[in-house]
Amino acid sequence: MFVSESLIRQLNIPRHHSVILITGIGGGKATQTRGVALLKLRSLHLRSDVIIQAHILQTLTNILPSFNAASQEWPHLTKLTLADPDFLTPRPVDIIIGADSYGQIIKPNIIKQDPLTPIAQLSIFGWLVLGPVNTSSSAVATVHHASIQEGVDALDELLAKFWTQEEVPTNNHHDLAPDEQRCEEYFKSTVSRDSTGRYTVRIPLKSSPDTLGDSYLTAHR
């Protein structure tokens, strides 16, 4: 289940820290959650309520429905107490109830007529209307589906960065400059460990100290 961040702020609902990845159609990474909150949804028509954990997103979806449809007459729906009497009016969506929580709100009652007309499913909020609507709108069809990846992709990414940092450089010896090659060879030939276990290496000098000659007296002055 998902809830918009704007609704959480409007109602001042406490949130808990939670950051998970939300993937959509094609497995592409869409967005990350901004926490999690407990919501108590109460019916306006029945003495029923349900408590559901909802993940917080900045935006849930586009305006729904994505088309403008004229009011239509469906005889099998006319006398029903609908959960949303204005379901044909495009409006923002603040809560999406997922399949994992859907079973807590629906009732076994279903009313349907022609296959090309909507059906009615009874819920604790009233009758839900589902199905096709005759419209001449050319709006692009929108598919709404998401699944929760409990940080698997993020963990893989962190592990990849870790191994990249820990990987020993494998630069080719031929890529080193002549001075760098001599320095590397000098390190290999002089590195050792002392009695305390520490590594020691002689200071590399470009020229042998012998080329200075007898410089003690000059330095002593």
DSSP secondary structure of the chain? -EEEHHHHHHHT---B----EEE-GGG-EEEE---EEEEEEE-SSSS-EEEEEEEEES---SSBSSS-------GGGTTS-BS-TTTTS-B---EE--HHHHTTTEEEEEE--STTS-EEEEETTEEEEES-------PPP-----EEE-SHHHHHHHHHHHHHHHSPP---GGGS-HHHHHHHHHHHHH-EE-TTS-EE-PPP-SS-GGGG-S-HHHHH-
pLDDT averaged over consecutive 10-residue blocks of the chain (221 residues)?
A: 89 88 71 88 84 87 76 83 86 86 89 87 90 63 52 61 59 70 84 84 71 72 69
pLDDT of residue 201: 84
pLDDT tens-digit profile of 23-50? Answer: 777 766 668 888 899 999 888 887 888 8
